[in-house]
Amino acid sequence: MMGPIQLEPNQVAAELSRFGEKLAKGMKVLKDVPEVHYGASDKQEIYREDKVVVYRFTSKHKVTHKTPLLIAYALVNRPYMVDLQDDRSIVKSLLEAGHDVYLIDWGYPDPSDRYVTLDDYINGYLRRSVKAVSKHTGVAKINLLGICQGGAFSLCYASIYPETLQNLITMVTPVDFQTPDNMLSHWTRGMDVDLFVDTLGNVPADLMNWCYLTLKPYRLLQQKYVGLTDILDNPAEMENFLRMEKWIFDSPDQAGEAFRQFIKDFYQGNKLMRGGLKIGSKDIDLKAIKLPILNIFAEQDHLVPPNASRALKGATSTRDYTELSFKGGHIGIYVSGRAQREVPPAIDQWLRKRG
């Protein structure tokens, strides 16, 4: 009687032998792989305040766009994802296209930042970073590219200070924080965030990372590492893998008060979408935004589902709204080969038409 799985002893033995050889080669590769680094583009500091630093990327390519582009990344991960390595860099592609690119590094909050608020981040650091780029380039208005949580910050900023911006680009940015397919939102809306922050102070990065990993536990905690055996004997692939692992676990703690308001007002209150949001003394009204907007989202994004981003359409008063749907996930939109071919050229062409 034959079972559903046919195993030939000789084939099993040969497969085990090949696997053993691969593991042995992999151990040698792991010993020889140097410490991984990140960053494909040179950069210089142009502004510093507390732990926040604004960098200008430098390039041998001539700047042909008169309006500089400032990137505002999320607080929850490090911003070097946009310039991870030579063949995975949105920044590098934009520099090659002639853009003058700047980046905000929010830094690593420590216990002294426990009471830093969203007012500090948006009306303070972000506003003064925009001002620093304007001063450095001698222009009155700049282009702002907000990514993920940084995109939500950028929308708030654009509603308060539209006179300082030429164009606004949002990328994997949540606008409607309560779409039915948003698992992170379902978890967060049930959180007692006052007890959470009053107990912990700043929110530990390791705790945040664990929450993100458990959104897709099989893929991110098992399958990824089982698949590692396929590339163990490939030094280049191993270096790429280790660089991504370094980025994933190189996360900053979250300033307690800023985290409290972000959870209450954005996730639990959905006030960016519904209205009633205040950042410091400033009312946030998306209808106050009349700037040209390019909204880029990822179709397989498990952290910011596409409908959470698509909600921006019709939420502002702009007459110049463009959407770009990317076939990939929340991380692939920065580092995949498809992203390198599609995202920077789309940004470049969209900006080129608008100055």
Q: Which residues are catalytic?
A: 148
User: 324: burial class by Cβ within 10 Å (0-12, 13-18, 19+)?
Assistant: middle
* Vertex 106: Cα angle to 216 and 210 (nearest 5): 20
Q: Is the dihedral of CA 284, 289, 292, 297 positive or negative?
A: positive
CA distances from 133 to 45, 71, 119, 209, 223 (A): 11, 11, 20, 32, 43
d(CA 229, CA 23): 7
Q: How many CB atoms lie within 10 A of CB 25?
A: 13
Q: How many CB atoms lie within 10 A of CB 29?
A: 18
Q: Is the dihedral of CA 338, 248, 213, 180 positive or negative?
A: negative
d(CA 139, CA 131): 10
CA distances from 204 to 76, 208, 246, 252 (A): 10, 7, 17, 8
Q: Is 52 helix (H, G, I), strand (E, B) or coil?
A: strand
H-run or E-run covering 94: helix 90-96
Q: Any idea which residue has 């300082």 for tokens?
A: 164
d(CA 86, CA 130): 27
* Vertex 256: Cα angle to 144 and 161 (nearest 5): 25
| Helices 235-249, 9-32: crossing angle, 10 deg rounding | 70
Q: What is the token pair recorded at 123?
A: 């009306």
Q: How far from chain centre, in Å, is Cα 167? A: 19
CA distances from 50 to 45, 71, 124 (A): 14, 19, 11
